[in-house]
A and B are shown apart, each in its own frame.
Chain A
Amino acid sequence: MKNIKRAFRIHRIFMAQEFKRMMEYKGDFIVGIISFFLVQLSNLLFLWIIFSRIPNLMGWTVNEVVFIYGLSLIPKGIDHFYFDNLWSIGFFIVRKGDFDKYLTRPVNTLFHVLTEKIQIDALGELIMGVALVCVSVQGISAQWDVFRILAMILMIPFITLIFTGIKTITASVAFWTKRSGNVIYMFYMVSDFAKYPAAIYNRFVRNVITYIIPFALTSYYPALFILRGENPLFNLGMPILASVVLMGAGIFVWHRGLRAYESAGS
């Protein structure tokens, strides 16, 4: 209990520090948000153009597709907002030997890395995601009950951990290879598959994104339950299971990597 309290206090101090830094560079903040906003906008234009030519996409209406797309942005945005620092581990912190800093402090290294920074750019994704979900549900005639809405909200923290877990595992590779930024990038790009209903992929791809690099669990499967009430045990249970397994694996690999870490020269 005392530890948890301490962790929260440390987190608060880091956050305060980050906000001070951000206020120093207000322009960056706007540029960052707009840039991620534009990326989403370009994807939406794409959806809008193709849906002007087809009635539905393999049985999914435009609103449902937008819902899945928007839902996928929310946990992705939260992970991006809080845990963006993992990219720096992969790209340069380990390579330059800057990781030593974390080893000298009386806090768990992974906790320190995760809580040290926030990335305000992520609001571009997050705001867009929430907006798309809100707009698209109005055109979907699903049976809304308290349980479904609650499920949607409660799933989000777990789904976020799917992103964070995969990033932690891939970032840890840097402890052995010095640099793993592009390994994170490659796995992270798989999350692109989560933008659309998994029904459009062939069986092989679908199995990969369900069981191996499970980004389909981040929005398609929860949406199957939220929109259509299908199979709650699998559609909600699997994402929760995956998030626990991936984050657990992330913590394990990270600490294994620490043993292999040797500070860089120069």
Chain B
Amino acid sequence: MKRKLKIYLPFVNAGIQEVATYRINWIFFMLGNALACFVSYFIWSAVYESGGGGSMSGFTMPQMVVYIVLMFLTGTVIASDAAYVVGEEIRDGTIAMRLIKPVSYNATFLFQELGNKLPTEIAIAAPMIIAVEIIRTVLSGEVQFSALSLVLYLFSCVLAYLINFYFNICFGFIAFVIKYLWGANMMKNAVIGFLSGTVIPLSFLPGALEKVFLFLPFSSLNYTPVMIYMGKYSGARLWYYIGLQAFWALFFFVLSKLLWKASVKRLTVQGG
């Protein structure tokens, strides 16, 4: 364990330094993403106003505001660039450098990305959770904060990140087939945006479709943690969804290993 830490900690460090270099850029990027939140807010308030207020598919307008903010937060916390990084390395051949080192291919990515994300997550998560609680308290007129929900939410986010990370590793292998990674990623993001409930809460979908989407791995990404934080899942249902998350995390972990083994055999790197 100690040896492992010694191997992988430098990767975390490298990730932290990477992100520190482009801090200003990151702020503009986040501001750009936050704008999409504002658009959602306005469109939903128009929808609720036009629909005569009240509750829609289990969401009142104040809950929808909380949902939008939490979706944004969760999306940022669990984001992973792995598909792009893996694809790029396959395409330009630098993947060969990983093969000659006595470390796990996936693990080096994981730790580098964690280093990349940790500073930003701490910077963004705490203020946003506080903001969510203030919004909730003001809109509903009573304190709704639950420490248990917060802890479960964070735990669920960790699982969601692992699913996302290993799914993205798997998706990165698509570079063997599609050379246009930017397009492939765009496609993936469009589909996942919808399936994960980022575009619209899954409970707004027709019943049968909702059931299918809830089982697919993508609802385990953003939707499950957000629903847990909002206290929509409880008792057996809560544990079912957390279990489902664990299942998908394991599934993609194993799949990524298998794909890695298979693709190393196929890998041809042209001279540099």
Residues of A near any B CB (own CB < 8 A): 25, 27-28, 31-32, 34-36, 38-39, 41-43, 45-46, 49-50, 53-58, 121, 177, 179, 181-183, 185-186, 188-190, 192-193, 195-196, 200-202, 205
Contacts and interface: CB of A to CB of B under 8 A. Distances in A.
Given A31-B178, A50-B43, A53-B47, 10 more contacts: A28-B179, A42-B193, A42-B199, A45-B199, A55-B50, A58-B50, A177-B24, A186-B31, A189-B35, A200-B42
Interface of B is mostly: helix
Interface of B: 22, 24-26, 28-29, 31-33, 35-36, 38-39, 42-43, 45-47, 49-51, 56, 178-180, 183-184, 186-187, 190-191, 193-194, 199-200, 204-205
B25 A179 contact: yes
A42 B205 CA distance: 13
Contacts of A39: 186, 190
Contacts, number: 109
Contact of B187 (A31, A46, A202): A31
A192 B179 contact: no
Between A121, A181, A186, the greatest number of chain B beta carbons within 10 A of the residue's beta carbon is seen for A186
Contact of A190 (B35, B56, B179, B183): B35
Nearest to B192: A42
Contact of B179 (A25, A43, A185): A25
Contact of B183 (A41, A121, A193): A121
Interface of A is mostly: helix
B190 A54 contact: no
Between A31, A36, A53, A205, the greatest number of chain B beta carbons within 10 A of the residue's beta carbon is seen for A31
Contact of B190 (A42, A53, A181): A42
B222 to A, nearest CB: 14
A259 to B, nearest CB: 22
Contacts of A200: 42-43, 45-46
Contacts of B186: 32, 35-36, 38-39
Nearest to A36: B186
A54 to B, nearest CB: 4
Contacts of A190: 35
A192 B36 contact: yes
Contacts of A27: 178-180
A144 B180 CA distance: 43
A179 B24 CA distance: 10
A31 B183 contact: yes
A165 B43 CA distance: 27
Contacts of B51: 53-54
Between A42, A193, A196, A201, the greatest number of chain B beta carbons within 10 A of the residue's beta carbon is seen for A42
